[in-house]
Structure formats: structure tokens, C-alpha cells
Amino acid sequence: MRSKRFLVTGATGDTGRKAVEFLLERGQNVRAFVHHANEESTELEKRGAEIVVGDLLDFAAIRPALEGVSGAYFVYPIAPGLIEATAYFAQAAKEASVPLVVNMSQVSARREAKSHAAFNHWTAERVFDWSGIAVTHLHPTFFAEWFLYYAQNIKEGRVRLPFGDAKHAPIATEDQARLIVSILEQPTAHAGKTYRLFGPKEYTYAEACTAVSELLGRHITYERISYEDFYEQALQRSKSPFLAQHLTEVAKDHAAGVFSGTDDVIETITGRKPMSLEEFIQKHREALL
């Protein structure tokens, strides 16, 4: 297979970093777009990636980064600015005749979303659609990495979250990155599609904590807290009212079943089953002990 060049934004983030690594392993050329040069970007450069430092809110940085690429992965943090960044990216991709953009959205992105971030994702999808460029939208459920975000709480033996009896099937970013690479390499098969992404098995958060307890060999208490307490917790952790509002509203969406479901999208497209929660915990065991 002749090598192509792909642009990966958020290249030091969870999905972006793994997508860069998988593309390089497959012999592709990668232009890694990062917000700041740091140790992680230096490591990607050592592996063979071309590093571009820039801001997704700066059209002058985005336009040349998209020149000559065979596809691009677009991801934006849970922060204000998504719609503006999407418009810039779509226009730049159109000018550069990029064959396909893979857009990381979320399963709660919809017109009636109460989360400002989720509604912005829905609007950003429409911007990509209006642009006329080929795009594939990804709608993942909660990432398995949530357990790493709460690693300190797991170590302390007490996880406090607002999730009750509703379930979701945690999906690892590694599996999402493998899907992103598969779509970028075979763009015509996926242009215009929206894929919901799930892990192989659904859990309530209490059930997931029980499974993690058994895997780590020590007791972890799961305590359900109010949405108000969760907002304060999220605000204290993130220092971002925007992110705290989003997390609180998606917790309510979770209770309404918005994040529930399983499917075979990952396995069908990549040829590999998504990682189970047990496999994920075992892989990241040291970070949780």
C-alpha cells in the first residue's frame, strides 16, 4: 500500500495520540497538529510524525496543515469555541480538497441536548454537513478512560458519582483510534456515515466498580451523589464551569438511557473486537493500584 499523509488534530490527546501511533505503525505519513510543543509531541516526532503547533481557532494555522493530506481527524476539547473551530476547519479542508474528515462528536449530541457542549457538537456536525466535504461523524458512549480519570478515588477505595441504574458499555480510546485509522484509509466506504461506538458489555457504574474491585483485589465503594454535588465536584476538579455543566447534563442523559447500547461497529470495520472493561483494567492496572 502506497503511503499517504494524514492530519491528526488533538495529537497528544487520548484518541489522537493512538491514531498517530497506529498510522505510523501502518507506514503512513502523519502530520500531528498540537496546541503546544511538549514531551508528548517530541515523542511523536521521534516516532516519525511531522509536528505542527497551532490553534484550531486560528485559520492561518489550520489551512496550511491541511494541504496535501489524504484525510483528517478533527477533535476539539470540551470547551467553548467548537463551532468556530469547526467552521474554520471545514473551510480549510474544502479549500485543500481533503477527501474525508473524521469528526469526533459524542453520543449525546442532538438538537434537544441541555449540555452546551453536546448541543455545540450537534451544531458542529451540521456545519460539516453544510460544507459539502465528505465527513464521518463518531458518536461514542462514555470512554473506559473515565476509570483512569478517577484513579485517585479508586486508589482511596471510594468513587462518588451521580450515575444510578442506567447502563453503558465503556469503550477504550485505543479502539476508537483504530476505527479512526480504518476510516481514514478507506474513506469512500464511510463518507456520510454516523457511527455510534460502544464497548462489548454494558454496566451500571456500581456494577463496573464491583468488577474493578474484583480485578484489583480490593474493595471499592460506589456512592451515588446528587447532580448538584456532582457539579461542584466536577467544577472543583476541572476549574471549568463549561465542562462541569456538560458533565452534569450528560449524567442526566445517562440516566435517560442516551448512553446505553452495544453494537458491532468497531469489530466490523477494524476486524478486531473492542476491549472489554476487564481487559482495559488489566492493561492499566498499575495506574489504579
- The tens digit of pLDDT for each residue in 165-209 reads 999 999 999 999 999 999 999 999 999 999 999 999 999 999 999
3-state SS class at 5: strand
Phi-psi region of 192 (alpha: psi -120 to 50; beta: other; left: phi over 0): left
Check whether 157 has a pLDDT greater than 60.
yes
Max intra-chain CA distance, the chain: 56
Q: How confident is the model at residue 138 (pLDDT cuts 50, 70, 90)?
A: very high
First CA to last CA across the chain, in angstroms? 42
Q: Tell me what the mean pLDDT of segment 93-97 comes to.
A: 98
Check whether 269 has a pLDDT greater than 70.
yes
Dig out the grid coordinates for 227 from the structure.
447532580
Check whether 91 has a pLDDT greater than 90.
yes
| Share above pLDDT 90 across residues of the chain, in percent, rounded to a whole number | 98
pLDDT of residue 3: 86
Check whether 81 has a pLDDT greater than 70.
yes
Bridging pattern class, strands 101-104 and 158-161: unpaired
pLDDT of residue 79: 97
Q: Give CA–CA dist 267/284, Å, rounded.
A: 22
Check whether 48 has a pLDDT greater than 70.
yes
How many Cα atoms occupy the beta-carbon half-sphere of 225 within 13 Å?
Answer: 15
Rg for the chain (alpha carbons), in Å?
19
Q: Give CA–CA dist 210/165, Å, rounded.
A: 14
Residue corresponding to grid cell 502523519? 30
Residue corresponding to grid cell 457542549? 117
pTM listed for this prediction: 0.96
Q: Give CA–CA dist 92/24, Å, rounded.
A: 24
Closest CA to 160 of 93, 220, 102, 71: 220
Q: Give CA–CA dist 8/172, Å, rounded.
A: 18
Q: Tell me what the mean pLDDT of segment 229-252 comes to.
A: 97
Q: Tell me what the mean pLDDT of segment 8-13 comes to.
A: 97
Average pLDDT, the chain: 97
Instruction: Name the DSSP letter for residue 205.
Output: H
Q: How confident is the model at residue 41 (pLDDT cuts 50, 70, 90)?
A: very high
Q: Tell me what the mean pLDDT of segment 4-28 comes to.
A: 97
Q: Give CA–CA dist 154/156, Å, rounded.
A: 5
Residue type, 240: S
Domain boundaries, the chain: 5-141+173-197+260-274
Check whether 275 has a pLDDT greater than 90.
yes
Residue 224's beta-bridge partner residues? 161
Q: How far is CA 24 from CA 10, 15, 176, in A?
A: 16, 14, 16
14 and 173 Cβ atoms separated by less than 8 Å: yes
Task: Find the helix or strand (DSSP H, E) in which 282 lies.
Answer: helix 277-283
Check whether 2 has a pLDDT greater than 90.
no
Bridging pattern class, strands 5-8 and 72-74: parallel
Q: Tell me what the mean pLDDT of segment 85-105 comes to.
A: 98
CATH fold for domain 5-141+173-197+260-274: Rossmann fold (3.40.50)
Residue 201: how many CB atoms within 10 A of its CB?
17
Instruction: Note the Cα 250 to chain centre separation in Å.
Output: 15
